[in-house]
Amino acid sequence: MAADRRIVRVSSSFFDQLDQQLRAERSAGGEPSATDFVVIELPAVIERFATDFEGLPEVIDGAPGGRMVIAPGLLVRAFAVYGLLIADGSIDLVGITIDP
């Protein structure tokens, strides 16, 4: 339902954390880059936050304004992306943890 879809923005702190965990360019050994993650993994994460924010687990129990997507990755073993509900009803993605 398009009416239930939230706007999702990706914060600069998310990109800073992503850049700290993945290389700027794909390695010769095939290790993924931050750009690879943005292109391949991030669209599905944004979709989950946009369409199912209330269904996602809370970052802190009892604090429903912070939710997370924890998932196995296509490029990495697993990751968690953290999002915060903003007063206007949109979501800001503010952090990421990657298990390479």
Average pLDDT rounded to a whole number, residues 60-67? 95
Number of structural domains, the chain?
1
pLDDT score of 3: 56
Average pLDDT rounded to a whole number, residues 41-45? 98
pLDDT score of 1: 45
How far apart, in whole angstroms, are the C-alpha atoms of residue 59 and residue 81? 10
Residue 36: its H or E element: helix 34-40
In tens, the pLDDT along 15-31 reads: 999 999 999 888 777 78
- Answering whether pTM is above 0.85, one says yes
Report the chain's mean pLDDT, rounded to a whole number: 94
pLDDT score of 25: 85
- The Cβ-side half-sphere exposure at 78, using a 13 Å CA radius, reads 6
pLDDT score of 56: 98
Average pLDDT rounded to a whole number, residues 48-54? 97
Q: Residue 95 maps to which CATH number?
A: 3.30.2310.20
Residue 75 has pLDDT above 70, yes or no: yes
Domain span including residue 69: 2-99
- For 69, other C-beta atoms within 10 Å of its C-beta total 22
Asked if 59 and 70 touch (Cβ cutoff 8 Å), the reply is: no
